Amino acid sequence: MIRPALLFRDPHLVALDKPPGLASIRERWTDDDSALVVVWRLLREADPEAPRPRVVHRIDKETSGVLLFAVSREAARALSRGFRDREIEKTYLALVKGTPPEEQGEIEVDLGEDPSRPGFVKVGGRRGRRSVTEWRRAESFRGYALLEVRPRTGRTHQIRASLSHLGYPLLVDPAYGGDEELLLSRLKPGYKKKRDRPERPLLARLSLHAREVRLAHPVTGEELVIASPVPKDFGLALKYLRKYRALENDR
């Protein structure tokens, strides 16, 4: 796994550039590190007396990008309130199957527990709650698209379930209608498989990246924009989509 790095740090707030495969908090069934533990370790490398950071929001284990933690109690209260009141804006990059004809749109649906799949959600599921997701088509390919997505509410698997409901599931997301992985052989005409060697996927985790968070600093009120660069695997998928699935009029 790529070593996680801090994108922002001060006495009140920390932002982690979370790699895919790292859970936000510790999972009950494993002893693997969580993002919370990693952040605390990074803080203690600089200050052995650094307090344990506090979780204020989460992103899926297989999603990469910006993840915020509060260091002070004052910041924890303000950030929790900011997420609750939708004052903190999150922007994701999503590679999806299919190309929406519209340039942008909004998905408003009730998301609730999927009784047939514990831990997952569905539109109209049990104990459903309203969700609002805004999206914009940033780039189009033959059979695929790159979307900028802004969830206005914070429901479990909101982006994944909402885009699937719209008809454009994440390119890699088998739980919600996407594929298991993205292979170059699916994109490149005349692809020749190497003998006695399995093909390595371009992207083998959720095709979702938490690109940016905009917020007022929880203590000073200063406007902050914290951004995560596109990770290598996501960038590699984009590279080959642009090379082999570019629209004719874009060439």
Mean pLDDT by 10 residues, the chain (251 residues): 83 95 79 84 88 92 96 95 94 98 97 94 91 98 98 96 98 98 95 87 98 97 97 97 85 49
Rounded CA-CA distance 201/168 in Å is 21
Span 52-72, pLDDT tens digits: 999 999 999 999 999 999 999
Task: Report DSSP state, residue 123.
Answer: E
Cut 0.75: pTM above it: yes
Using CA atoms, how far residue 40 sits from 13, 54, 57, 227, in Å, is 12, 10, 16, 20
CA 14 to chain centre: 18
pLDDT for position 3:
72
CATH class in words for 5-250: alpha beta
Report the amino acid identity of residue 164.
S
Q: Which residues are catalytic?
A: 60
Please list, in sequence order, all residues whose beta carbon lies within 8 angstroms of the beta carbon of residue 134, skipping any fewer than 6 positions away: 104, 105, 106, 107, 149, 150, 151, 152
Given a contact cutoff of 8 angstroms between Cβ atoms, the answer to whether 76 and 11 are in contact is no
Given a contact cutoff of 8 angstroms between Cβ atoms, the answer to whether 66 and 15 are in contact is yes
Using CA atoms, how far residue 128 sits from 79, 86, 89, 124, 191, in Å, is 25, 19, 23, 6, 45
Rounded CA-CA distance 17/40 in Å is 14
SS3 103: coil
Going along the chain, which residue ranges are E strands? 5-9, 13-18, 54-55, 64-70, 89-97, 104-113, 121-123, 126-141, 144-151, 208-216, 223-227
